[in-house]
Structure 1
Amino acid sequence: MQEWYNFIKKGANIKKEIIATTNERVDKFLSKELNENRNQIEQLIKKGLVKVNSKPIKKGGVKLKQGDIIEITFPKTEEKESKKADFDIPILYEDEDLLIINKPPGVVVHPAPSYKEATLVDWLKQKGYSLSTIAGDERFGIVHRIDKETSGALVIAKNNKTHEFLSNQLKDKSMGRYYLMLLNEPLKEAKCVEAPIARNPKNRLKMAIVNGGKEAKTLFVPIQDNLTAAKLFTGRTHQIRVHLTKLGRYILGDTTYGKKEQKIPRVMLHARELYLTHPNGQKLSIIAPLFDDFKTLIQGIDDEKISSLSNIFATYDGMCDKQQTGA
């Protein structure tokens, strides 16, 4: 699908005819023919852009017969101008399928109507990276995201096959990240928080622990003083920050869920370690170095203690099977 997508970016309106060679569902057949996932095919069908024997179809479950003529229209779209990115991004790992970066604090991952500055996606385009297109124009290559003020490891998909492969790992929890943070008050011991999260009914800009919300589980482990690590078992918006409220804690610099702290430049949260399975089957565990603003605040802490968070959490394996939410 990358080939026709390149035409779309240039403002072309193209059609493609394919003759069915098997008797199967149209979405399944086109997924294989165009090397694209079925969700993308379904979007084309819903927009009336797929015809079988000159008749528009409305569902991907339509059964084909050998010899049927399938016509697909790829509509003209306007290419949005990328904003010039005057920042640089450290590369932690790269090959032909994926890119793992260390996102600096202050960089937004992808464009949004309310955000007018350059984003990570703009930087990727500016550098000429080949990126997946599954997530649409605004999110080229973006498999997952972290907040503007959060720093750390982030994986970028260079093609649609890799994007889908990594997305499936997010769903089955085989891909994830270990975080480091600085709290307003140290935890006395490791704690597991399991509490549902939803939009705060009193403030739509915040999330909260809400009965009937989406299930969420986080394990917090104290490292030294107020330096704390976290492992997410689910991936909800603001999950770490919301679950800390249940423990009576907040991340330094977090004015949304905590208090304003003098001389704290931003939310002191860093995605320290990313683990995943590469499409070639190789297990990857990538460590993202801390940025200077974070390092300045933990001077005197032994680097060995944060060299491998995966090893630290291995000692707490199974702890979240036992509910512990006290402070």
Structure 2
Amino acid sequence: MREVKNYTCSEPERLDTFLATQIGQTRSQIAQLIKQNCVWVDGKKVPRPGVKLKLNQTVKVEFPEAKVEKALEVDFDVEILYEDDDVLVINKPSGVTVHPAPSVKEATLVDWLKHKGIRLSTISGEERHGIVHRLDKGTSGTMVVAKNNKAHEFLSEQLQDKSMGRYYIAVVSPPLKDDITVVESNIGRSANNRLKMACGLAHGKYAKTMFKQLALSNDERNQLIACKLFTGRTHQIRVHLESMNRHIIGDHIYALNPKAEKAQRILLHAYIIYFIHPTTKE
């Protein structure tokens, strides 16, 4: 049975601000409640979070039951780099998908988090698992996971304002010509291959990537590079490399002749993540 609560407004203010204070949740979660038609003001359903409440108006909230889905059996392990009461920093293995989807039949990182007991039940009834950002299935490396709703909201805001970020390393072929290369080019879905993204498209979104040479292979055919994203577009590193006629070793989507390479995975790794801690602010 759904829980129903009534609140009385003691001074004029926005509906989402009022409920966020009364319930102790974030405004974005309140917005989800309103979107799901779970909030009434003086008996009328409210269409938007920004409604201005008047003195002594009654707000009724009907809380949806949290949806809990059983975790699949997990046959992989995930290295924990750091953990406290608020965040979990992990090293995601290559070959592990982050989120479940109808097309994904195997266990995902979300299933691993469920087994670990990280399940953020939100007031909107949608069960989250602390995932703030994602990595492609083949990409390995650092990810930060929020262990409570407050931390999730704080980290999500950093993702939006770019105060959170990552540095990647990759092995590419052929080597880059310059020590530092910056690519600025819009990225959007390819019209020729729906699995790929393409850059230089008028309908695409702005994207910027910096590449730095690190080391050459003995035969000078491959090169270890560092990559810094200034935006977060799908396949951004891979697409910007393709625009320079380069590709990451093991990339079976963007490489010209992937079968000629013997790499068992794409050689792309998120090796540094930086963010401000939700509690210590360090």
Percent of aligned pairs with the same amino acid:
53
Per mean C-alpha deviation after superposition, the further-off stretch among 13-22 and 244-253 is 13-22
User: Relative contact order, CA 8 A, sep 6+: which one is greater?
Assistant: 2
- Number of aligned residue pairs: 272
Per mean C-alpha deviation after superposition, the further-off stretch among 71-80 and 225-234 is 71-80
- The aligned amino acid for 2:46 is I
Shift of 1:268: 0.7
Shift of 1:186: 1.4
Question: After superposition, what is the alpha-carbon deviation per residue over 1:119-145, rounded to whole angstroms, capped at 9, x for unaligned?
Answer: 111111111135474998475200000
- Cα distance in structure 2, aligned partners of 1:94 and 1:198: 36
Q: Does residue 1:218 correspond to 2:215, yes or no? A: no
Q: 2:16 aligns with which of 6, 27, 30?
A: 27
Match of 1:207 in 2: 197
Question: After superposition, what is the alpha-carbon deviation per residue over 1:181-225, rounded to whole angstroms, capped at 9, x for unaligned?
Answer: 011211132110000001112222211011231100000001001
CA contact (8 A) 2:67 2:126 kept: no
- Cα distance in structure 1, aligned partners of 2:209 and 2:48: 40
Q: 1:97 aligns with which of 82, 86, 90?
A: 86
Per mean C-alpha deviation after superposition, the further-off stretch among 95-104 and 46-55 is 46-55
Structure (1/2) with the larger strand percentage:
2
- Cα distance in structure 1, aligned partners of 2:278 and 2:66: 31
Check 1:138–1:87 CA distance in 2 against 1; reply closer, same or farther (3 A cut).
Answer: farther
- Cα distance in structure 2, aligned partners of 1:274 and 1:79: 30
CA contact (8 A) 2:68 2:127 kept: no
Check 1:182–1:139 CA distance in 2 against 1; reply closer, same or farther (3 A cut).
Answer: farther
Any idea what SS the aligned residue of 1:183 has?
A: strand
- Cα distance in structure 2, aligned partners of 1:257 and 1:134: 42
- Cα distance in structure 1, aligned partners of 2:102 and 2:127: 10
CA contact (8 A) 2:168 2:228 kept: yes
Check 1:135–1:168 CA distance in 2 against 1; reply closer, same or farther (3 A cut).
Answer: farther
Structure 2: runs of 5+ lacking an equivalent: 217-222
Structure 1: runs of 5+ lacking an equivalent: 1-11, 284-327
Match of 1:85 in 2: 74
Question: After superposition, what is the alpha-carbon deviation per residue over 1:47-89, rounded to whole angstroms, capped at 9, x for unaligned?
Answer: 3210112222212222223332211112346532211112111
Q: Does residue 1:242 correspond to 2:233, yes or no? A: no
Match of 2:219 in 1: none
Shift of 1:40: 2.2
Q: Does residue 1:255 correspond to 2:246, yes or no? A: no
- Cα distance in structure 2, aligned partners of 1:135 and 1:144: 20
CA contact (8 A) 2:171 2:224 kept: yes
Match of 1:276 in 2: 275
Check 1:139–1:57 CA distance in 2 against 1; reply closer, same or farther (3 A cut).
Answer: closer
Q: TM-score, normalised by structure 1?
A: 0.78
Match of 2:181 in 1: 191
Check 1:278–1:135 CA distance in 2 against 1; reply closer, same or farther (3 A cut).
Answer: farther
Any idea what SS the aligned residue of 1:30 has?
A: helix
CA contact (8 A) 2:184 2:208 kept: yes
Structure (1/2) with the larger helix percentage:
1
Per mean C-alpha deviation after superposition, the further-off stretch among 73-82 and 94-103 is 73-82
- Cα distance in structure 1, aligned partners of 2:6 and 2:127: 28
Any idea what SS the aligned residue of 2:85 has?
A: coil
Match of 2:6 in 1: 17
Root-mean-square deviation (CA, aligned residues, Å) is 1.9
- Cα distance in structure 2, aligned partners of 1:267 and 1:138: 31
Question: After superposition, what is the alpha-carbon deviation per residue over 1:284-317, rounded to whole angstroms, capped at 9, x for unaligned?
Answer: xxxxxxxxxxxxxxxxxxxxxxxxxxxxxxxxxx
Any idea what SS the aligned residue of 1:170 has?
A: helix
Match of 2:220 in 1: none
Q: TM-score, normalised by structure 2?
A: 0.90
Q: Does residue 1:118 correspond to 2:107, yes or no? A: yes
Match of 1:230 in 2: 227
- Cα distance in structure 1, aligned partners of 2:41 and 2:20: 15
- The aligned amino acid for 2:215 is Q
Shift of 1:13: 2.1
Q: 1:107 aligns with which of 82, 96, 100?
A: 96
